[in-house]
Amino acid sequence: MNRYSTLLAILLLCGSPAGAFAADNQDLMAEAEKASTSGDWEKATTLYRQAVEKEPASSLALSRLAGSLMASQKYSESIPIFQQAIGKDPKNAGAFIGMGISYLHTGRYTTARAAFEEAKKLQPDKKELDEVMTWIDNRLTAEEKAEALPHSLPKPEPQKEVKP
Q: What is the mean pLDDT of the chain?
A: 84
Structural domain harbouring 64: 2-12+26-148
Report if residue 161 sits inside a domain: no
> Residue 120: how many CB atoms within 10 A of its CB?
21
Residue 14 has what pLDDT?
A: 46
Residue 27 has what pLDDT?
A: 87
Report if residue 158 sits inside a domain: no
The residue type at 16? S
- Residues 126-139: tens digit of each pLDDT: 999 999 999 999 98
Report if residue 56 sits inside a domain: yes
Report if residue 97 sits inside a domain: yes
Report if residue 132 sits inside a domain: yes
Report if residue 35 sits inside a domain: yes
Dihedral sign for Cα atoms in the order 94, 95, 97, 102: positive
> Residue 87: how many CB atoms within 10 A of its CB?
16
Give the model's confidence band at 159: pLDDT under 50 very low, under 70 low, under 90 confident, else very high: very low
Question: Which element (helix H / strand E) includes 7?
Answer: helix 2-13
Higher local confidence (pLDDT), 24 or 25: 25
Residue 115 has what pLDDT?
A: 97
Report if residue 116 sits inside a domain: yes
Residue 162 has what pLDDT?
A: 58
Report if residue 21 sits inside a domain: no
CATH code, 126: 1.25.40.10
Question: Domain tally for the chain?
Answer: 1
- Residues 93-122: tens digit of each pLDDT: 999 999 999 999 999 999 999 999 999 999
Residue 161 has what pLDDT?
A: 62
